[in-house]
A and B are shown apart, each in its own frame.
Chain A
Amino acid sequence: MSVSKEDVKHIANLSKLNLTDEELEKYTTQLSDIVSFANELSNINVEGVKPTAHILDIKNVFRKDEMQPSYDREEILKNAPSKDAGCVSVPKVVE
């Protein structure tokens, strides 16, 4: 499998990134190289092998349902580029 320009356009869209034509060319080549390299995994027999999602053998790590004070709103919004009325503000969301 190699990566096409269409693929790169699609994944750039999903990633919310704009690409210039030049970048599109460049990334298509580079991602193709990397993906072809990664294709070496397709030669390995993985039948019946369990995927490793966690390297540690962990399970059931829980927190108690106990309340702690929240942060001050000023702190929560401290880094927000645009805020209004105690909220983060964004351009109108159209449904």
Chain B
Amino acid sequence: MKDYEVIIGLEVHAELSTKTKMYCNCSTTFGADPNTHCCPICTGMPGVLPVLNERVVEYAVKAGLATNCEISRFSKQDRKNYFYPDLPKAFQTSQYDLPLCLGGHLDINVNGQKKTIGITRIHIEEDAGKLIHDAYTGDTLVDMNRCAVPLIEIVSEPDIRSADEAVAYMQTLKSILEYLEVCDCKMQEGSLRCDVNLSVRPVGQKEFGTRTETKNLNSFKAIHNSIEFEIKRQIEVLENGGKIYQETRRFDDAKGIGYAMRTKEDAHDYRYFPEPDLAPIILSDEYVDNIKNNLPEMPHIKKERYIKEFGLPEYDAEILTSSLKTANFFEKTNAICNNPKTVSNWIMGDMARMLNEKEMEIDESKVTEENLAELIMLMDKGTISSKIAKTVFEEMFETGENAKDIVEKKGLVQMSDEGAIKEICQKVVDANPQSIIDYKAGKDRAIGFLVGQIMKETKGKANPQIVNKLLLEIINK
């Protein structure tokens, strides 16, 4: 088998988190009853006209600046004509030859290696509605709530060479969009999704192979797996003397397989032309500079600051700043308890593990910044042991109760009463004469056993330092 090089370009669709749709005043909120966020304009009734939401331009320019694009001073919107039940006007308003943003790039980090991925363009366009398959009647139902929700499409250069790079690019892009607060990036709700253009060619071959486009991938896992699948498929086809067809494909994440869609590629002729019902967008330097000067701190800058300001290891800073929500959670918690490394450990450790298990985002967790800070302060003060803290955290995560209440309710306060601890220590020592003999014979492990017994007696509440001190006092007496 020959060695193959993989060429990937991503088209990322990010729904903008505007309050209202692109051309009318209907809400963009996800999850409403079908066809309840609709009006004559977004359902394409006869006679209606669009008026562009100003925030769409602002958000797209933000995204362009944050990805190092040139912002077009003159741009326009075009109609892309095709028939589909989720497209009420039978054209999608998009941008064809004069998009808002051109020629940017993003630095990504793949297994410790830095790489730059080019961005061809970012344009604004409207989303389509949702088609729901009705299993009972066999028909397809059209929900137009999502019709004309504003999107930006971010088109990368074909600079990506592997599934890992694609995922890293997507992760980086996601964190930037989150930082800008222009997209809520909820991939499971489809507000951030991508199409993968992929081709392979034998190493050394100059011209690109025929590419396929796998549409609508909305999780990192699906992006990764679909790419792996498609690379393997294309190489197999070529190795068997077959031909790759330019086609649109889907990937079934549950089954882990991709398949070609039935639409014929040659049937498409979108007949783009300038949208006569919308005005050109002409941006002044002042407008662009104003947005540029007000961009929030970007992930890589924040990371540097975390290392410097909080003395965090690079690894921690990287993870904490990869998502704005996580970074915000970290900063807010630390502002209360002022113990950056411990806060970081909690967020990256138990918190991340439990969020992962529940497939939740940090802002969906019942644990608030105040609660986590309180827990850390209880540890710092010695009120609870670190072992108890884990139990308390799990309880906080499940119930949303605060640390103090849990500790009090369950009587988890650390035992620091030397008299009481001494009594238990004595009891354990008396009950285990063999351990004392062992210890005195030089077997240090015996101490561990005794401490364990004491902790068991105190249900883990005894202050471990005090236990150690008192136990040694008794034995060495």
- A residues sitting closer than 8 Å to B (CB atoms) are 13-14, 16, 53-54, 58-68, 70-71, 73, 76-77, 84-95
Contacts and interface: CB of A to CB of B under 8 A. Distances in A.
B35 interface: yes
B282 A59 contact: yes
Contacts of A91: 139-140
B12 interface: no
A63 B24 CA distance: 8
Nearest to B271: A14
B352 to A, nearest CB: 35
15 contacts: A14-B269, A53-B276, A53-B280, A59-B280, A63-B53, A65-B54, A70-B36, A73-B34, A76-B38, A76-B43, A86-B143, A88-B141, A89-B140, A90-B85, A90-B140
Interface string B119-134: 0000000000001111
Contacts of B262: 94-95
Interface in B138-192: 138-144
B141 A13 contact: no
B39 to A, nearest CB: 5
For the complex of A and B, the 4 pairs showing the least CB-CB separation, nearest first, are A62-B54, A87-B141, A68-B25, A65-B55
A62 B53 contact: yes
Contacts of A61: 51-52, 278-279
Contacts, number: 124
Contacts of A70: 26-27, 36-39
Interface of A is mostly: loop
Given A70-B39, A86-B35, A58 B140 contact: no
B309 interface: no
Nearest to A59: B282
Contacts of A59: 279-282
A68 B40 CA distance: 13
Given A70-B38, A70-B39, A84 B54 contact: no
A2 B427 CA distance: 107
Contacts of B76: 53
Given A59-B282, A62-B51, A66-B20, A92 B139 contact: yes
Interface string B92-124: 000000000000000000000000000000000
Contact of B137 (A13, A54, A89): A89
Contacts of A76: 35, 38-39, 43, 144
Given A61-B278, A63-B52, 9 more contacts: A53-B76, A54-B279, A61-B52, A61-B279, A63-B25, A64-B53, A64-B54, A67-B26, A70-B27
